[in-house]
Amino acid sequence: MRPVSATFLASVRGSHKMIARARLVAPGQTGTAPAGLAIPGGDPDGLLPVSAGDVTADMTADVQSTLALTTRYPWPGDPFAAGTPYGQEIYVERGIEYGTGTREWVGLGYFRIDRVKQAQAPDGPIEIGASDRMAQVKDTRNVSPQVFSAGGSVGACIDTVVQQALPAAVTDYGDWDAYGAKLAAAHVMGDDRLPFLKDLLAAYGMHAYFDYRGVYTVRPVPDVTTSAPVWTVNAGRNGVLVSQQREISRDSVYNVVVARGEPVGELPPVQGIAYDNNPASPTYALGPFGVVPTYYSSSFMTTVAQCEGAARAQLAKATGLPYSVSLGSVPNPALEGWDVVTVDNGRDQPETHVLDRITYGLTPDSSMGMDTRKQFLEAP
């Protein structure tokens, strides 16, 4: 969950004044107070009026966050004008204005403008489609293969790959000593840098995303079987639950991950296995669901322990399936993907769910859509 005050969380559950803002900014900034780009004929600080729109965060997508925004500003007359899809970004926030006039903002991230459309020229509203900074990493393909030597720092390798696409990128590794980790063999990055990064990170049980500060953030894949709920989505008095839709399916569900290290050079192949060992889980590997494995291989994995860690991380991404729920809720923009929440519709037994997809509306009349999977806790 993004950092907010206790007052903010309490206000979400009652009557409150929702606010949102979108600021046009030059690329490469980080933090929650970027300098805006002046819009000739518009706002000198780059503020764009928010007529409609939303931000969607999807933890299953390569580019996790996208923005759809309807706004108004002078149609850009040349490629370097304000509001063109040639490198400019939009910083988006949602928040609450308290009765005292004080405002508390929650950053939703930086978004690269991908396209602008005006269906009713010359004076109609402008529709913007934008993506988080991972889109730039994905788009910046190599023109020739690049070699990273054995013994080189994993962190330095990641920094190089990301900063070739985004020279001003800032990386946050948290508690992971990425610079102390070393490549066991030489590796070649081909045409596409994003699959190279994902493969490298998965070998260490990590995932990466651009957070609300615009920082390339590397974290372990969370173990949702042990994570405590950070928020309650409930009906009734002081509740925030607006709607609920449920589905149970075994499509594309697996309960065993076989991770195989296939290092280059003379290092021997290695293998690690992780399986759903929770008897309370409907996908328990020794239960009636059966054994349904999936396979993952990487040249970055060189030890059995590394393979086992990567297998557990891959399995964590699916733990809780096949029971999924779509929720409509009073928006709490502090919630993030893979947060764990309690769902209580007031009639059934409360359940614990993992957030896989969130849509944050940017107008007062919009609810927050959430796609979740039920968390089945490890047996004590």
Q: Give the pLDDT confidence score for residue 324 in this predicted structure.
A: 85
- What letter represents residue 129's amino acid? G
Which is it for the CA torsion 231, 326, 207, 106, positive or negative? negative
Q: Give the pLDDT confidence score for residue 379 in this predicted structure.
A: 47
Q: Give the pLDDT confidence score for residue 77 in this predicted structure.
A: 87
Q: What is the pTM of this model?
A: 0.92
Q: Give the pLDDT confidence score for residue 377 in this predicted structure.
A: 59
Q: Which of 327, 324, 323, 321 is nearest to 358 (CA)?
A: 327
Q: What is the pLDDT along the chain (380 residues), one digit of tens a residue?
A: 999 999 999 999 999 999 999 999 999 999 999 999 999 989 999 999 999 999 999 998 999 999 999 999 999 989 889 999 999 999 999 999 999 999 999 999 999 999 999 999 999 999 999 999 999 999 999 999 999 999 999 999 999 999 999 999 999 999 999 999 999 999 999 999 999 999 999 999 999 999 999 999 999 988 877 788 999 999 998 899 999 999 999 998 999 999 999 988 788 999 999 999 989 888 999 999 999 999 999 999 999 999 999 999 999 888 777 788 999 999 999 999 999 999 999 999 999 999 999 999 999 999 899 999 887 755 44
